[in-house]
Amino acid sequence: MSDIVEIDSDGIEQVSMHLYTEKAYLDYSMYVILDRALPHIGDGLKPVQRRIIYAMSELGLKATAKFKKSARTVGDVIGKFHPHGDSAAYESMVLMAQNFSYRYPLVDGQGNWGSPDDPKSFAAMRYTESRLTAYAEVLLGELGQGTADWVPNFDGTLEEPSVLPAQVPNVLLNGTTGIAVGMATDIPPHNLREVVAAAIHLLESPRATLAELCEFVLAPDFPTDAEIITPREDIRALYATGRGGLRMRAVWEREGGDIIVRALPYQVSGSRLLEQIAQQMQARKLPMVADLRDESDHENPTRLVIVPRSNRVDCEALMSHLFATTDLEKTYRVNLNMIGTDGRPSVKSLDGILREWLAFRTATVRRRLEYRLERVLKRLHILEGYLIAYLNIDEVIHIIRTEDKPKLALIERFGLTDAQAESILELKLRNLAKLEEMKIRGEQDELATERDGLQLTLGSEARLKTLIRKELQAAAEQYGDARRSPLAARDEARAFSELELLSADPITVVLSEKGWIRAAKGHDVESGSLSYKSGDAFKLEARGRSNQPTVILDSTGRAYTLASHNLPSARGQGEPVTGRINPPSGATFEGLLLADEQQRVLLASDAGYGFVAVFSDLQTKNRAGKGVLSLPKGGCVLQPTLVPADNAGVWVAALSNEGRLLMFPLADLPQLARGKGNKILGIPSARVQAREEFLVTVQVINEMQSLVIQAGKRHLTLKFSELEHYRGERGRRGNKLPRGFQKVDGMRVEWSIK
């Protein structure tokens, strides 16, 4: 801060508030980044985790040791190394002990250390016991071998390692999350064997590309059996930039008629999941689910049972909906942000991480070998002194016993160095007398061989690489395991639409002359007897199911679509249909229809033209509708008629107001999406325009049905066999009905009674 401090005339230091505040904030930010939130690339640990692991090793809590109360361990950590609260230290220890949080746990715990369902429900530290796992040796195994930089602890009474000499790229293996000031880190866990294989490949081929490394590191590997469904291309892009996202999906199977979920995404709570599904069931958003059960036990850590309402339920579609709306499918943010060997935080690519870690590992191994070589050379030097002492043992003993300054005398008499003389004097006389030439020379030979080997390795890059490769392979062999999270290519999850969640209840939609619409439950509704507003009356009705859309045709030939399930109830008088659609001014409603998507419909105008359309072609989301039926001049829209899927044995019966009836095969009419259609009954256009002659109705009939023709109060029933006289080619004038039926009001189809 000296550069922003000014000294006034009185010798008082002054600094402006904004500069002081800015520097204080930046200092705090860097402190949080470097000492709290981000892991180091070398050992993959945050400072508090590193201090816990080191303190436990100092307490002798190795994998073979007896468990020790966690409270004592935490007390030791915060007393010697960690200048913060015990709860923060204990929470950090718990995380490293949870096999459902860490892919390769560093702490072995006894007692309640939380559960996958509730990771934070662990017991207090006075009730739990802990020690290090065998895997922790990859971080601690080389600690006393000159491999670590030692820094003073928080109060300067002890020294602690700044970075542990990790033998594997632990930063990728266990992953970590952290929130710093202005940055965060989210590193997913990976498989030890895969990461080591990639590191070895990079060691042997320094120019290896990211694509090559991705052949070894396929994807992150979480401590769960749930599937990673992110495409390989997206994972490679993630590894290239260091940023991205991952999707995980639960694994399920059919067992009898039930759906069994046996693996959940990383850190997803089973009870929370059941709660999410139950909420949907209570809100009637899952009518196809009858029951939920949690059958998890010690043998099956995850076993969630979803019971469908019947065996007709599409389980694939149901699970796709649950994947889209619950935590059965979860997205994870990936941000490979860490502190590099230069002490700076940065987001790194996969190849960048492995290159930097290999440089760190190479430097660590080199330091270890140099440290050992130095120790060997020192010992050889001392052994030379011992050999001189052995060969002149009587004289050496005499000098030690008689001389006031035996050290100087020994140096002067035998030409020893200070270290050699010191080591001889440190030996007790009885041990000095027991020196044996064979033992000394044997130890010299062993150490000389080791020295030569160390010097060869240190002098050759190839030998050093070979040593690092062998050590990596040994670690992978000892601590590695098979991948847990399988990679799977899955279709995108899709939630049910509102319609799909509806029950298919029978309804009758009623439309009045003034354009008021309503829906009654069931098909046995007498639409004409419903109550109507003054001056209004029944006009059209259509029967169908509540999950089918309602299509309305207006007098201009436009079609409009309404959701049937939310139409007003028939208990009231309904509501104006113009509140939901925007028809042209002066248009009236002439057609009403409910049907399935693929249902065929006969559309016709009373000018004698028509065609067959598919019901889905009539639907539109546009409030203004869409043009479907083109009307000849003077023509009006007729009520649509449902048509069978198969044309075989199906006939069209067209009846004019003058009693002309024509029958022809349905196959003679074209199937169109929109248009005028083809001629059904030959009516001169001038007569249509003058409204002298026009079609009354068009019906579809088969051999098992009869036609009932209505003229005033009179009815005429014609069986199919009696209709031969009226058969002809499409577009003809048709034949006249018997006298008394020259002015007809309508026609309907009935099933023949045999």
Burial class (CB in 10 A: 0-12, 13-18, 19+), 623: exposed
Query: Nearest-CA neighbor of 143 among 57, 73, 59?
Result: 57
Q: What are phi and psi of 117, to 5 degrees?
A: -70, -35
DSSP string across 185-236: EEE----HHHHHHHHHHHHH-TT--HHHHHTT--S---SS-PEE-S-HHHHH
Indicate the burial class of 496 (C-beta count within 10 angstroms; 0-12, 13-18, 19 or more).
buried
Residues near 251 by beta carbon (within 8 Å), at least 6 away in sequence? 225, 226, 227, 261, 262, 263
Closest CA to 577 of 623, 524, 617, 618: 623
Helix/strand/coil percent split, the chain, to 5: 35, 25, 40
Q: What is the DSSP code string of 664-725?
A: EEGGGSPB-SSB--EESS---HHHHHTTSS-EEEEEEE-TTEEEEEEETTEEEEEEGGGGGG
Give the CA dihedral 739, 745, 750, 754, nearest 10 degrees.
-20
Q: Do the beta carbons of residue 368 and residue 142 sit within 8 Å? A: yes
Nearest residue to 511 via CA among 461, 580, 432, 451: 580
Burial group, residue 422, by CB count within 10 angstroms (0-12, 13-18, 19+): middle
Entry field: residues in the chain:
754
Report which residue type is found at 710: Q
Interacting residues of 419 by C-beta distance below 8 A, sequence separation 6+: 378, 381, 382, 385
Please give the helix or strand (H or E) that residue 47 lies within, else none. helix 47-58
Q: Tell me the residue ranges of DSSP E strands in 139-191.
A: 150-152, 159-161, 176-179, 184-187
Alpha-helical runs (H) found in 392-494 = 393-402, 406-414, 418-426, 429-433, 437-459, 461-479
SS3 state at 21: helix
For residues 347 and 362, is the Cβ–Cβ distance under 8 A?
A: no
Q: What's the rounded Cα separation, in Å, for the pair 645 and 413?
A: 120
Amino acid of residue 744: V
Among 127, 390, 479, 609, the one annotated catalytic = 127
Q: Check if the beta carbon of residue 73 is closer than 8 Å to that of residue 131.
A: no
479 is catalytic: no
Q: What are the catalytic residues?
A: 127
